[in-house]
Structure 1
Amino acid sequence: MSEVTGLVLPFFGLIFIGYAMARLRPQPVEALGWMNTFVIYVALPALFFQLLAKTPIEQLTEWSYIFGAVASTYIVFGIMFAGSMLLGGSSIAESTIKGLSAAYGNIGYMGPGLALLAFGEEAAVPVALIFCFENMVHFAVTPMLMAISGGRHESPARMALDVLRKIVLHPFILATAVGVGAAALHFQPPLPVERLLAYLASAAAPCALFAMGVSLALRPLRRVPRELGVIAVLKLVVHPLLCYVILSWVGNFSESWVFSAVLLASLPTATNVFVISQQYGVWMERASASVLITTILSVGTVTALLYAITHGILPPDLFP
């Protein structure tokens, strides 16, 4: 158990420190802007590039792996979306945010740091693949559903262009594409550039987790959705279990790849869900509550998952 504690304590400890500092030394929400800019546009892209550029190119085209991970996410999304529409009588827009709350994990801020800490550099490629392809689908599905609901009055061509722009220009996806290109060409950056990338990459996880803690503290809990229990179970239990079963079924992947995907699936609701809810003016306070509460609950669920993985309770393949 001490081994698992050694993994999760520094990780969740950084989130708690950020949360505590935001409470003890309050600053306006705008003060977090440059930290987020550094994490999203500089540190995490440097981490993705540095690790992918050193990866054999054949490892970057595991389409069955990508399909399995993304399919598990969108099966969970579909369950929550359909349940909200059919049983809850919610609108398409509200059901979209609820579906994202149950399926869109914090794979950007929390994923790379925890996966690399738990499984080493072998986790870099699966984390980058899952992040890129899941976000491509998120960037496409969300505006499409919001347009259908009437929340956005845009022509199909303008909407398609907006989706394409978000995909192509996202800094993580750009960094991944450049990293894949460097791997294909066997490009090695000059030593000073390599050292700069290493410094930036080492700052990615601590800064991202601290910023996440601050962000949670700046969104006080006001309105807890009645669907929170369902959202928490789908996000923290059903999603990783489904991902584990599907990946075991569709292929024979290495242990680190399977467990990296399952770990990413087990992460709490992404802060981006709240950002999306703000963008469309739908379900904002309850989206914020979903992020905060699933993050708190994930301390227990992620710890339990890592314990099961590190102690051999969870085999790397259900169907060897």
Structure 2
Amino acid sequence: MLDEVAHGVDLGRRQVTVSRRCQHHGPDQAVLQCRHGRSFFRLNRCRPVCPAWRDGSSGRPARRAGVRSLWCVARSVPLCPVVSFRAGRVHVLLTVAFPVFALIGIGWLGGRLRLLGPHGTMALNGFVGWFALPAMLFTALAKVSIAEVLNGAFVIVFGGSMLLTYVAGMVAARLMSGARLAHMSLFGLSASFGNVGYMGIPLCVTAFGPEGALPGTLAAVLGAAGILTFGLILVEVDVQRGHGAQAARGRVLRAVLRSPIVQAVALGAMVSALRIAVPEPVMHFLDLLGSAAAPCALFAIGLFLSDKGLGSARREVFVASLGKVLLQPLIALALLPWFLDLGTMWGKAAVLCAALPTAANAFVVAKEYETFVEGASGTILLSTVASVATVSALLVLLSIG
């Protein structure tokens, strides 16, 4: 069952021998043995340990590489990109998830120590909602040529999973508490609006290389220009009820047009579509301002949790988090066979982006309207914790990397 391979593979400073090849899974499924003779690595997509892989000297199955053998090879040679990502995917995920926990944590600590006074959360959230977040959304859209990254099948799969999860979240909120439309909309937003910009794009680039930025960027645009704007409109419809149908429509339209988030999305889309060149100093200023959105929003979540906690929103937090990290990727997987090939980068990225935890922007909007604030903050925290397991499982299931 085994072929001896006479040639070596140069991975940098040292030579690594491709010492075994699995005929059962094809010629590409090689096993790398370091010069110390102790470490075996499986390449590409052969996940199960193949019974045909044997240690030629002992006849025993070549066991899966663990921490010790990874350390051994890491000392011997620079790992190839395939092996590096498969061995370190959990490390990559923790690298982008840890700052989320840390920022919420120091916000909570600052709140417990009363360092920012009683109105710290309101002031910080106001800064994010009126200045930092619009700048971030504008630059994200203005820098992208929509025509270059647009993939219709990806839009249907990822956008469809996001919209269906949003609707499911609204229905769940209605069934659980008989909530008003604003509460239902923000529940749906918390269950469907993923942290693509902060976590998704780095993961996609790590998994698929530089071209992975394309589906990650498109997913971020769909979230900001699509579900976030739609959710805001429904919240305003509920807020303006009681003013008569015609008056309410006018109030909703004015409120939506005055929203800095909607304005930023509209201006960014216009700049992208018309290919307007933004002066470099202006873009640098907006980049600097927008870079404060995510850390300040996460810090504000910690401040809020230190004072209010989750209150009675525990059940809603659990259901919304379940929708975000489980239901949405399952919907994406169900839609995938109809529009995309699971074996392609775009297909895998659609499922990966669908499984990301809730974005901090959901809390910013909830706090602005003082609706579902405990639920949004708790969902961001719980879904981020859960995503370490669920996204890691997806990386293995989809054989990404």
CA distance in 1, matches of 2:324, 2:381: 13
Kindly tell me: are residues 225 and 184 of structure 1, through their superposed partners in 2, closer, same or farther at Cα, counting changes over 3 Å? Answer: closer
Kindly tell me: are residues 20 and 248 of structure 1, through their superposed partners in 2, closer, same or farther at Cα, counting changes over 3 Å? Answer: farther
CA distance in 1, matches of 2:352, 2:255: 25
Kindly tell me: are residues 62 and 178 of structure 1, through their superposed partners in 2, closer, same or farther at Cα, counting changes over 3 Å? Answer: farther
CA distance in 1, matches of 2:200, 2:312: 32
CA distance in 2, matches of 1:35, 1:66: 33
Contact 2:297–2:364 (CA<8 Å) still a contact in 1?
Answer: no
CA distance in 2, matches of 1:176, 1:139: 12
Corresponding residue number in structure 1 for 2:133: 44
Contact 1:268–1:294 (CA<8 Å) still a contact in 2?
Answer: no
Q: Select the residue among 236, 252, 271 that pairs with 2:363.
A: 271
Q: AA paired with 1:97?
A: H
Kindly tell me: are residues 263 and 190 of structure 1, through their superposed partners in 2, closer, same or farther at Cα, counting changes over 3 Å? Answer: same
Q: AA paired with 1:267?
A: T
Q: Select the residue among 267, 273, 278 that pairs with 1:178.
A: 267
Q: For residues 189-222 of structure 1, give each alpha carbon's deviation from its aligned partner in whole angstroms, at most 9, with x where no partner exists.
A: 2232232223223333222322222233232333
Contact 1:60–1:129 (CA<8 Å) still a contact in 2?
Answer: no
CA distance in 2, matches of 1:203, 1:224: 28
Q: For residues 53-110 of structure 1, give each alpha carbon's deviation from its aligned partner in whole angstroms, at most 9, with x where no partner exists.
A: 232231576566555545434434544554666x66x5462x86357425534848x5
Corresponding residue number in structure 2 for 1:306: 391
Task: Establish whether residue 254 from structure 1 lines up as the match of residue 346 from structure 2.
Answer: yes
Q: Select the residue among 215, 229, 232 that pairs with 1:136.
A: 229
CA distance in 1, matches of 2:332, 2:250: 31
Kindly tell me: are residues 16 and 117 of structure 1, through their superposed partners in 2, closer, same or farther at Cα, counting changes over 3 Å? Answer: farther
Corresponding residue number in structure 1 for 2:218: 125
Kindly tell me: are residues 180 and 247 of structure 1, through their superposed partners in 2, closer, same or farther at Cα, counting changes over 3 Å? Answer: farther
Q: Which runs of 5+ in 2 are unaligned?
A: 1-89, 206-212
Corresponding residue number in structure 2 for 1:284: none
Equivalent residues, number: 299
Matches within 5 A, 1:67-82: 68-79=157-168, 81-82=170-171
Q: AA paired with 2:190?
A: Y
Q: AA paired with 1:290?
A: G
Could you tell me how far 1:9 is from its partner in structure 2? 0.9
Q: Which runs of 5+ in 1 are unaligned?
A: 280-286
Contact 1:132–1:172 (CA<8 Å) still a contact in 2?
Answer: no
Could you tell me how far 1:262 is from its partner in structure 2? 0.7
CA distance in 2, matches of 1:12, 1:298: 11
Question: What is the RMSD computed on CA atoms of the aligned residues?
Answer: 3.7
Contact 2:153–2:340 (CA<8 Å) still a contact in 1?
Answer: yes
Q: Select the residue among 132, 145, 153 that pairs with 1:56.
A: 145
Task: Establish whether residue 160 from structure 1 lines up as the match of residue 246 from structure 2.
Answer: no
The 3-state SS of whatever aligns with 2:276 is: coil
Task: Establish whether residue 35 from structure 1 lines up as the match of residue 124 from structure 2.
Answer: yes
Q: Select the residue among 276, 279, 295 that pairs with 1:187.
A: 276
Q: AA paired with 2:113?
A: L
Kindly tell me: are residues 165 and 36 of structure 1, through their superposed partners in 2, closer, same or farther at Cα, counting changes over 3 Å? Answer: same
**Alignment TM-score, normalising by the size of structure 1:** 0.74
Q: Select the residue among 204, 210, 215 that pairs with 2:304.
A: 215
Could you tell me how far 1:263 is from its partner in structure 2? 4.0
Could you tell me how far 1:181 is from its partner in structure 2? 2.3
Q: For residues 220-245 of structure 1, give each alpha carbon's deviation from its aligned partner in whole angstroms, at most 9, with x where no partner exists.
A: 33324555544442343213322443
Please state which structure has a larger fraction of its residues in helix: 1
CA distance in 2, matches of 1:211, 1:248: 40
Larger radius of gyration: 2
Q: AA paired with 1:165?
A: R
Could you tell me how far 1:127 is from its partner in structure 2? 0.8
| Larger RCO, structure (CA 8 Å, separation 6 or more) | 1
Please state which structure has a larger fraction of its residues in strand: 2
Kindly tell me: are residues 65 and 195 of structure 1, through their superposed partners in 2, closer, same or farther at Cα, counting changes over 3 Å? Answer: same
